Structure 1
């Protein structure tokens, strides 16, 4: 399977650098060609195993790893966790590729530090758009996706011994309202309308929530809301 790099072709103009990790050579090639067709994106390497993905992420320091879940040697979940917890690659974002809407690994992948997930049958233009969203520091969890994930979150309640204890004691009452609405799948604009505040105010609250809850994007605020008990999947609040 091996690994392929394009270290000598460092893109200019601020292009986002993407490492493609998938055990199927044909898919890797297709993803690479698609990425290279976009002027603001650049494929800097290919990995056929999770271990190669971790090693290449350390060596190439891409902006994003497009990561398949099921790979040999080291699965995408563990590879994501290693990339996100390694000080050398902690800033590298991971976009998970999965076959099903509620792949059994999606929740765990988000817990491991992934910034979102895509289905493998996603249209080419949507995949490029997703990479741009992740590169901009946003989480790829659209409201519809967030709602589909609620069923999975219900399997990981605060009563579960394996669930982390998330403390909401540091957040304000308004921040708690914003967090609740994020967990329900509302967009920033919808939250602003619901609370009667400006969009910039909502964004400020979200930035503060991320800092206080040690969440690196919106996906992890959703997880924090469920794991803290603020929201229960059965009741929706």
Structure 2
């Protein structure tokens, strides 16, 4: 992390914004603060930032809308949501809107900093936070030999196209978005709920997990079952 890293903090609570911006500057970021969603959207879409940290409860334009609009214009920009809403439906909505991660209040700053660094690493695989590299590297997520490009809707393993059904795509997208976290069956069911292209409900999840595991063989990426909780994407040596 270098002092040149620019972060946009969109937070309308002045006391919290002051505290977070001070901690971010101490961690090596240059911080711009927006106290409403309209300003946040304007700055994120017209200026250069390495990461956007966006509260959902913003005035004028809500944070979820900001994320959706910014994601359309800058698909590669890491975006992290802050919110007091911790319901599953809120987390899924935020991630589906285009956020790279989701942190509920209250939280400790070290966790926020760690999550920011994590989304920066995922945005620039192998070269965290530099913003350099090829167009493919800057817009895609690379884990092991797997390269997943949400915007181009393309996935490859060692350069070979990975053929996925719509539900397999949504499942892999969710696992990658929430890397290092256990994904519950309920989360997967919600992610699938808008897809009407395939028959079968949550009861068929194990079939999709099995198929996706087979397709990921040789990629250096696997899906681990966490008994009683859900599934976790992990790298394999």
CA distance in 1, matches of 2:223, 2:234: 12
CA drift of 1:14 comes to 6.2
Secondary structure at 2:8 match in 1: strand
Match of 1:56 among 40, 43, 68: 43
Give ranges in structure 2 of 5+ residues lacking alignment: 124-175, 199-207
The residue number in structure 1 matching 2:22 is 33
Match of 1:96 among 78, 81, 91: 81
Aligned residues: 168
| Structure 1 range deviating more: 16-25 or 96-105 | 96-105
The residue number in structure 2 matching 1:141 is 178
CA distance in 2, matches of 1:120, 1:181: 29
Secondary structure at 1:136 match in 2: helix
Structure 1: which 4+ aligned runs deviate by more than 6 Å?
A: none
1:90-140 deviations in Å (ceiling 9; x for gaps): 322110112243353221221121101112222111111111111112677
Contact 2:88 2:187 in 1 (8 A): no
The residue number in structure 2 matching 1:163 is 195
Contact 1:133 1:140 in 2 (8 A): no
CA distance in 2, matches of 1:164, 1:63: 36
Contact 1:65 1:93 in 2 (8 A): yes
How does 1:1-237 map onto structure 2 within 5 Å? 13=2, 15-39=4-28, 41-43=29-31, 45-86=32-73, 89-102=74-87, 104-137=89-122, 141=178, 143-144=180-181, 146-147=183-184, 150-157=185-192, 160=193, 162-163=194-195, 173-175=214-216, 181=224, 184-189=230-235, 192=236, 198=237
Give ranges in structure 1 of 5+ residues lacking alignment: 1-11, 193-197, 199-237
Q: Which fold has the larger relative contact order, with Cα–Cα distance below 8 Å and residues 6 or more apart in sequence?
A: 1
